[in-house]
Amino acid sequence: MKSQWIPKLLISGVVLPALLWGGYTTLGTVPGERGALTSTGIVYYVAPTGSDSNPGTQNYPWRTIQKAADTLTAGDTVYIRAGIYKEGVSPQNSGSADNYIVYAAYPGEIVTIDGASVTLPEWNGLFNLVGQDYIRVSGLRVINAGPGPHNPGILVEDASYILIAHNYVYNSSDSGIMVWNSDHVSVAHNEIEGACYGGYNEGISVGRTDTFEVKYNHVHHSIKEGVCAKDGASNGKVFGNHVHDTDAVGIYVDAQTEYTYNIDVFENVVHDIAANGFVVASEQGGTLENVKLYNNVAYNNKWVGFDVSSCCIALHPMSNVQIINNTSYDNGWDSWGGGIALDNPQAEGIVIRNNICSQNLYFQIAVDPTVPVQNVTVDHNLIDGYRGTEGEIYGNNYVTGNPMFDHAAGGNFHLQQGSPAIDNGSSTAAPPTDFEGHARPYGAGYDIGADEYIDFTDFVYLPVIFRK
């Protein structure tokens, strides 16, 4: 049980997100993720003690998950009992709009799909969802996908209306979860660890996919990027994710060769990355357009908290990128690194506003001298620790001083009373809520940074029980 503050006007049942960022909490929900899964069709069962010649009932379960994958039709559910299943799984049928096919761990039990003894074809996932629609995959441990360089743990390709939720994916040669050439996909509440040992893609990769959400995932300890929306991704949201201890960018939006547009990145925490925290880029010349980064926190990353990149060829077009109300703290490990960097002289319509840039190593906000001044707007940021290095700027209507975080060393970036960030932001294009969903503005004006300061003398303290 956890307790939290509830505003006096909201005690009739509205529960706000958890207040402390240290000790990451995810409270977002996807319908049908938790508790008993309803079914309009037949409920089947798989267990290590079963047989594929059985009828798949609770008393006479099947032995393999693939038997279920060959059998389930629209509306059917398979509950998988505890155990280790040494097989790849490829669903054969689609559900329909009101009749999803559900693959789920039996409630309260640990189900492991282990590919250590499985030789997957190249470009196949260990759970290989290709060409099917209206499917939900929930509560599985998917480990040891390989051995080729392109074997994701869970692959969604050429698919529509897919939910991948509450799974743990470990030690995959390619992405932990890859979504490609699909639409209406939700990747929610998964944990990805040890992805991409073959050297390709990212912990969670979404490419050439329209209308998607990547939310409330925990991605860590992988040799490549954490989360990436790329190469023709569109109309997507990346939010509530916790990414740390990866060897490449934490959260990446990259056009690569395709038109990539309408991507919102918000309420994420990225830290201890051996590269940049958040990056927007066009590595191979595709146009990137309409990207918003807001209410994010980047801290203790090796290079830059937020970067508008000029990687990797001569052409990298992008426009309408907003970096608003973020917190960038203590980035830069060795001799270089900073808070927010604009490196791309071809980028147009760049807005850097209402951000806290505090105690970053080499600069707080830096704009490459080749960037045309008419292409960028920098205003109402809090600068703590101006270094005077090449390209470093204050921008307009800036504020200086210690932002007075509650406990930055512990990952808690709430503002204390008296912070110069309070009420000194701009309302222009500011998000209507903060990192935790509190309404902006709370006081006389909009605050700077990801947190909107709340004076809890206006609040009552009531216990709230968070139920999974």
Average pLDDT on 328-333 reads 98
Q: Kindly report the average pLDDT of the chain as a whole number.
A: 91
Average pLDDT on 100-120 reads 98
pLDDT of residue 263: 98
**What share of the chain in percent tops pLDDT 90?**
88
- CA 356 – CA 174 distance, rounded (Å): 35
Q: pLDDT-derived band of residue 466, with 50, 70 and 90 as boundaries?
A: very low
Return the number of other C-beta atoms located less than 10 Å from residue 389's C-beta. 13
pLDDT of residue 456: 74
Q: What is the pLDDT of residues 271-297, one digit of tens each?
A: 999 999 999 999 999 999 999 999 999
Q: What is the pLDDT of residues 408-422, one digit of tens each?
A: 999 999 999 999 999
Q: Is the pLDDT of residue 467 over 60?
A: no
Burial 248-276 (b: 16+ CB within 10 A, else e): bbbbbbbbbebebbbbbbbbbbbbbbebb
pLDDT of residue 459: 54
Q: Is the pLDDT of residue 15 over 80?
A: no
Q: Is the pLDDT of residue 8 over 70?
A: no
pLDDT of residue 39: 65
pLDDT of residue 460: 52
Q: What is the pLDDT of residues 389-406, one digit of tens each?
A: 999 999 999 999 999 999
Average pLDDT on 192-213 reads 98
pLDDT of residue 189: 98
Return the number of other C-beta atoms located less than 10 Å from residue 180's C-beta. 23
Would you list the DSSP string of 308-325? E---SSS---EEEEEEES
Q: pLDDT-derived band of residue 4, with 50, 70 and 90 as boundaries?
A: very low
Q: Is the pLDDT of residue 36 over 70?
A: no
Q: pLDDT-derived band of residue 464, with 50, 70 and 90 as boundaries?
A: very low
Of the segments 1-15, 27-41, 216-230, which one has the largest average pLDDT value? Answer: 216-230
Q: What is the pLDDT of residues 356-394, one digit of tens each?
A: 999 999 999 999 999 999 999 999 999 999 999 999 999
Identify the bridge partners of residue 62 per DSSP, sorted by sequence position.
46
Closest CA to 196 of 217, 175, 225, 227: 175
pLDDT of residue 2: 27
Average pLDDT on 98-109 reads 97
DSSP 8-state assignment for residue 456: G
Q: What is the pLDDT of residues 177-195, one digit of tens each?
A: 999 999 999 999 999 999 9
Work out whether the CA dihedral 244, 246, 248, 251 comes out positive or negative: negative
Q: pLDDT-derived band of residue 468, with 50, 70 and 90 as boundaries?
A: very low
pLDDT of residue 300: 98
Q: Which amino acid is at 420?
A: P
DSSP β-ladder status, 2-7 and 459-464? antiparallel
- CA 152 – CA 198 distance, rounded (Å): 10
Return the number of other C-beta atoms located less than 10 Å from residue 116's C-beta. 12
DSSP β-ladder status, 77-80 and 2-7? unpaired
Q: What is the pLDDT of residues 142-179, one digit of tens each?
A: 999 999 999 999 999 999 999 999 999 999 999 999 99
Average pLDDT on 436-452 reads 97
Q: What is the pLDDT of residues 44-96, one digit of tens each?
A: 999 999 999 999 999 999 999 999 999 999 999 999 999 999 999 999 999 99
